Each structure stands twice: as structure tokens, then as C-alpha cells.
Amino acid sequence: MSISLEPLCLSIEQNHERQLSLHSLPEEILQLIVCYLPTSALRNAALVSTTLHRHATDVLWQNVCLVDQWRLHEDQTPEPSIEEARGLGQTDEHDDSPIIRKLFILAKNPALASKVHTITHRCHLPSPNIFEELPRIHCNNENMSQDYRLHKLLVMAIRNLVNVHTLRIIHGHMRLASVLVACFLDQNRPRRVPLRRLWLESCFISADAMRYLSSYHTTELESLRIRRSDAAWMVAAPREMGFLEFRPSRGGMYTQMHDGAGNWIPSTVQISSVGMPEDFRFYPDSELKERTEFFDALVWAEHPEVEQFVESSNVGFDGRLGAEDVTHIAHVQPMRWLLQSAAHSLTSLNLDWVLWRRGEHDTTRDDSSSTMTSLAALRFPQLRAFQVRNAVLQQTQLHNDISLLEDTFLEFMEYHTKLQCLAWPMDKFYGHVKPSLDVRNRSLKVVAHLATTLTDLRVDAQYAGHGESVTDASHTVDGMYECVRRRRFIADFAPHMRRLERIKMEGGLPRDEKREILRALHFCPLKKIVMIGVSYPVGNTWGPGGLSLRALDQGFIWDDVLNLEGEDHQAIYEAYRRGFHMPEEFVFYPDYGWPPQAPLLQTIALHHASTVEELKLCGYHGCPILSQPTPITDPLLTGLRQFDNLKQLVMSFWLLTWFEDSYRDTEIIKFWMDSRSPASTALVVVTPPRSPDQDLPVGPGQFPVFQTRIAPVQDFNRWAVTLKTAFSPSALAYRVARDIGPYLSPVAKSRPGGVRMRASFCLGVKNERPASDIFDLDMRIGVDDQVLEFTGPREEGEKGRWWQKLESRAWF
């Protein structure tokens, strides 16, 4: 039997002759390739061919962000208060032109719109500052994104957005946010997938939108996150503005807002007239509406094609706010409706930094008790994550009659047996009065069950002014009651946990209570430990009252750190001489106070060094001083060497910015921003020494007469040199590696990629109205403390980091 090889040889020759191309790759490989391309490269790839256009647009349009812009109308009458800084003309602080153009594309191109999976709507301004602006801001801004043509265009676009499963509204405009929520939760909208995830942050949803939705009884939401918002819109009508409270607006009074990068930015707001002098200039709603209509006319005059498209469309405006067919429906509580309609499908519920009251001592309208009582009565069969987080301010604290494992939420916790993630104020797990025997037994059963299911636990407490104490020394009745409730959590809840992998402690928790929580979790395979506070959680490197820092930072306001407690050097060194040993059969007993003992990091290492992969130690008062470590820094941080499995470390550092009798924070921040911008031409110029003057001619046989000054004075900018050599991103990366690298485990540093390190700095203007923000330097430290790579420093609102943090949020 003979076999002919001619067909096979011919096939091989043909394959060799055929030119391999990108288009010959399988679709899956092409999709994988384009996923790694940056946005600029994706835009270019989309213009190469039909195939690459299809794959590139899949990525480019997967996430759509609807954000407004600041706009200067130069041909209009100038605003005298801002003309010098921002140009001549009238400024529209919230121009919707970018939103209009993007919605026009989505409304005209159904194929492109079908590629969109996530819609995010946000204001171009940074989110309100948590401590200064969030308690005073009202987000029910009637005159922003209010034009009916914009709303109609949005409804037309939503009809094509059939694959959107995630909607985020972060500091968005009330009118636009309300249409988005109403239309995407509309059960009759065209769709292939339902909306599954809803994120509402620093926003307000109108009553008309909720009345429109109230005719539907179910949604298919799986995740609901309400963050940094006023509870008023969730349970009742909006509150009236009080003293110094305001709402963003188009037109109005100019005020300075946090820019999210250690400085201020001017923007127009409507400030309340309550408590103001008689000559105060208040902008009424009618005047602001007239101003808004003027700006909208200018915007739409520049988009005639879009306006014609909208006006010629016969699409019904079913999602219109204030529609006549919904005005007869009774008022509904938005929070209750959202929860009830999604009860059958909700897997994650997150109430994060909700303002239950406006003032710190406002008892006239506290919505926490009624809201939590209503929530406790609901049931969610699929619930996996239940989080009430960041109760660290007076305005965000729950009422004292609310407890998780007694009274209010006990039946709720008994029903929800699938919880894997739990976040709750530490002093609201238990009451300070012992319950009945029946309640106690039921509570013990719930805790015993959670011990087998919980993998994530997050607890917090109200921030403690200028910093956390080493141990609680409350003298007031309320303070002592709160201490009792926290310590009941440590004694009755924490020791029973067995499966926790991540623990987060935030706010004003005394250091000894953090230590006892981590000791109580001895049997848990902890992979991530997070401790955040005002003071550095590991210990105070500045000395009592910040004495060690005073010689280095001459401009620091010492009133902020006068209560810093010093470390017992002798006791720490003695503990190192004795060594650290774990009993063979460890049994946890709470032990409070801080007698002479080992540093906190050594205690953590003793119990969890073999499993921990990520440590986050944040707090600026008493934190290590970059490049100027005090003697106590070494024994406090030495425990890090025992974490052989450490993959990521996040730490606060104090950056000395005092130079020649002034702080240079703003110049440093500007330099960082300029250095990461490829379009920037703002370089640090180091002036070289001046060239010497030309020598005088010397006659023959005559000895030259030298000038008195032989060497010329070198004239150069000392600060420019320091800025370049000490504060450039690369210089900072090497300074951090030099400071922290020796404390990292050699085993951890020897792994591919080394240890991910995030050094966190707090900088900002320091004048009569200071503003500080966090800047993070991300880097990798390898063998011999080498810097493998670095990114930053970046503020939290920097575009790349903002999106990265948004996408990496757990349990959303």
C-alpha cells in the first residue's frame, strides 16, 4: 500500500507562501491583545481596519463617562471677580457640551451603543471634601443639566444601551441623575441584560423620578451602594439649607472649593441666606434659572445638528421628570423602594458615609433610627455583603438605640445566613447593658454561624480629634458606655471568628483595642490587615508632643499633636532582648492598657506573619519622617521583616516641605503634576555657575595684576536644586526604598516583582485657609532594596487612579 505525500507537501508550501497577518489571528487572541492597549493606541487601532475597529471599539466604548466641563464664554461681559485668573468673559461652571456630544453618538449608533456595559455620570469638579464640604453641601441642584432637550437625548440613547449592567452616579447633577435612574430601572426599556449594579454617591434623586418608578414592584439589582449622601432624599423630602450650607449652581456666588490636589478652585454656588447679614447677596432660584437658560441657549446654538435630531425624533419622553401620568402617585421613600424592589436579587448592600443628620448635635431630624429600623424589617435571600461603613463623624454615626446583634438587627442577622462580608460600627454590635438570656443565646448562635462564613470584616469608630490614644481613658458617661460596647465586640465577637481573610479598622480606635482585635483573630488566616486613623497605628515616631519633629519642621502647628504619647524605649528594647514566643496552646483573654511590651507590629507578626499578604498602616500624626528617621522608628518597624508572604505595603510618611522659612507644598505638587504630563513644558531649571570674566591683556614682561575676587560667586536657585534632587518622583522613590527597604523581608523582596509599596503623603496649601490632600507614590521594591518601578505621586482624584480605584472596589 503506497501513500502519496504530494497533497501534504503542497499544503505545507501553501502555508509557507501565505503571509501571516494580524487579521489571521483568532478573534479571542485579538480581543486579548487590544485589552492591553492604552486609550490613545486604541483610538489609532480603530482607524486601521474594519477588524481592528470592531475590537478596539469594544474596549473604547465598554465604559462611558458622562461628565460636564468648565467653559469660558469670551464674547460675553466679563466677571470682575475672576477675570484675572481665568480670562475675560462669563464662565459656565457646568457646561453640558461633552455630555451632549457623547449621547448624540450613542443615540445615532445602536451598534456602538450596544458595546457599552457601564455608564458613569459625574461632575467635573472633585467630590466634596469629607470633613469640610460634605456636611454642608446640598446636591438637589435644580438648574444643572436641566434642559429638556438633553433629557430627551438621554432617553433616546438609553434605548440603544441594551447591554448596560452598571450605573454609577458620583457627585452628579440631580436632573440628569434622576433621568438615568428612572430610565435604567424602567422595566419596559429595551434591554438584553438588566441593570444589576447601582452606585449613588454625593447625589440626589428627585421625588418625581421615584414616583415614576413606584409603579414597578421589582428590579433585578444585585448590588446597591449609597455613599457620601444626605439621608434626607432617601427617606423624606430634602432639608432646607441652613447656615453656611450651599448647593452647586450655574451662576451664583463664587466660592473656593477643594480641588482634590491640596488647593482650592473657584466655582459658583447658591449659598443659604440663613444667618447672613442684611447686605448679603443671595441668588434666588428664578435668577439662577434665567442664567441657566442663557447658557443652555449658547450650548445648543453650537450643536444645531443635535438639536435638529432631537426635535425631529418622535420618541416619547416616558422617563420625563414630572410627567402628568405619575403626579397622582403618592410619595415613596426612595431608599425603601430600592431595597424592596431588589429584595429577591440583592447580594450586596453598602451604606457608606451616609449623613443621617446635618449638624454635629442636630437631634431635631435624625434619620438613622427610622431608616435602620425599616431596613431591619426587610429580607434579602441572596445577601452576601452587608456594610454600614465609615461612621466616623458625628453626622454619620448611628443612633445609640441601634445594635447589630441585640434588639434592632438580631432577627435580620438570624435570617441572612449567607453573609461573607460585614461592615458595622464597632460600638454598635452590642449594647452597654446586658440583654436577656434568650437574646444572648440567640446572639451567640448568630456569631457561631458567622464564624464559619465571614471572610471580610470592617469596623470603625468616631475619629478622635487630633489622634487616637494608646488606651481609652474616657471620663464622660457616654464615652465610658461607648468603650464598654467596643470591648464587648472584642470579647464576644472577634475571638469566635475562624475564616476571616481581611480585617479593616478605621477611626478613633485606641491602639490597645486594635492590638486585642488582632490577638482575638489568632485562628483566622488573615491575608489583609488595614488600620486607618489620625495617628500612625504602629506607634509614635515623633516623641511625646511631637518633640522630635519640632527641630525638623519649624512651621508645624504643634497644637495638633500635643496629645501624642511617647513610646517606652527601654521597654521596647527589653522586649527585643527577651524575644517573642507564642504559647503552644493560645487562649485569648482581653488585656487592655499598654504596659511595657513589644511594639504592635511584633504582636501582629507573632499571630499572623505566616498568612498576611497586604498591610495598610495609615495615619499621619507620629508616622515615620521620610529620610529623617527618629531613633524609635527602627524598633517600631523591625517587625516587618517577619512578613515573608508580604506582597503589598501601604504606609503613611511625613514629608518635610519646609525650606528657607516657608512651606513649599504648592510648588512640590505643581512639579509632580507637571512631571507626569507629557504635554508639560514646565521643567525645573538649575542655573549653572556664571562663566568667569574674560582675562585682561598682559603686557610683555609685566606680571599680571589679579582681581581681588579670584573665583566668581556662583548664582543659582537653591530651591530649584532641592526640588529636583529631593522631591522629584524618582528621588522620592529612592528615598522611600532607602527608608523602608531594610525592614522588608528578604524572602518577600526576592519574589518576581518584589514588594508593592505605596508611600502616602499629605500635602496642601498652608495659609489662613489650609487644604490638605493625600498623594500616593506606588512602587515596587526588590532585592537589595532596588526600585523596580514607580508611578506617581498621584492624588486620589487623578484620572487613572480614580478609575482604578473605582473598578477595584470589593463587593460592588
Domain ranges, ordered by start, for the chain: 22-60, 67-274+282-342, 371-635, 655-678+717-812
Q: Which three cell numbers stand for residue 197?
A: 449594579
Rounded distance, CA 46 to CA 38, Å?
12
Give the helix ranges, DSSP H, for 36-160. Answer: 39-45, 50-60, 83-86, 97-108, 110-113, 148-160
Q: What is the pLDDT of residues 691-718, one digit of tens each?
A: 444 444 444 444 455 455 555 655 668 8
Q: Is-contact 528 612, C-beta < 8 A?
A: yes
Q: Is-contact 142 167, C-beta < 8 A?
A: no
Which residue in this structure is represented by grid cell 445577601? 383
Give strand pairing partners of 348.
Answer: 223, 385
SS3 50: helix
State the pairing for strand pair 63-67/223-227.
unpaired
Q: Is-contact 776 758, C-beta < 8 A?
A: yes
Rounded distance, CA 661 to CA 718, Å?
13
Rounded distance, CA 643 to CA 635, Å?
15
Rounded distance, CA 606 to CA 603, Å?
5
Which sign does the torsion angle of CA 519, 520, 524, 530 carry?
negative
787-810 burial, b for 16+ CB within 10 Å, e for fewer? bbebbbbbbebbeebbeeebeeee
Single out the residue of 794, 641, 643 nearest to residue 732, CA to CA.
Answer: 794
Q: What is the DSSP string of 481-533?
A: HHHHHHHHHHHHTGGG--S--EEEEEES--HHHHHHHHHHTTTS---EEEEE-
- All residue ranges of the chain with pLDDT < 50 are 1, 5, 8, 10, 12, 80, 83-84, 318-330, 679-703, 706
Q: Please give the C-alpha separations between residue 747 and each of 278, 305, 539, 615, 756, in angstroms, as whole numbers.
A: 69, 63, 25, 16, 14
542, containing H or E segment:
none
Per-residue DSSP letter, 189: S
Q: What is the DSSP string of 424-454?
A: EEGGGSS-SS---HHHHHHHHHHHHHHHHH-
Which pLDDT belongs to residue 363?
A: 62
Q: Is-contact 609 747, C-beta < 8 A?
A: no
Single out the residue of 518, 521, 498 nearest to residue 450, CA to CA.
Answer: 498
Rounded distance, CA 267 to CA 259, Å?
10
Which pLDDT belongs to residue 319?
A: 42
Q: What is the DSSP string of 634-666?
A: HHHHGGGGG-TT--EEEEE-B---B-SSSB-HH
Q: What is the mean pLDDT of the chain?
A: 85
Q: Please give the C-alpha separations between residue 322 and each of 109, 138, 141, 232, 625, in angstroms, as whole numbers.
A: 29, 21, 16, 20, 57
Q: Is-contact 618 533, C-beta < 8 A?
A: yes
Rounded distance, CA 722 to CA 719, Å?
5
Which sign does the torsion angle of CA 738, 744, 746, 747 carry?
negative
E-assigned strand segments in 537-663:
614-618, 648-652
Which pLDDT belongs to residue 602?
A: 92
- List the end-to-end C-alpha distance of the chain, in Å, as a whole number: 67
Q: Is-contact 421 454, C-beta < 8 A?
A: yes
SS3 294: helix
Phi first, then psi, for residue 760 (nearest 5°) are -110, 125
Rounded distance, CA 103 to CA 177, Å?
14
Q: How many residues does the chain have?
A: 812
SS3 112: helix
Q: Is-contact 357 397, C-beta < 8 A?
A: no
Q: Is-contact 329 214, C-beta < 8 A?
A: yes
Rounded distance, CA 173 to CA 145, Å?
6
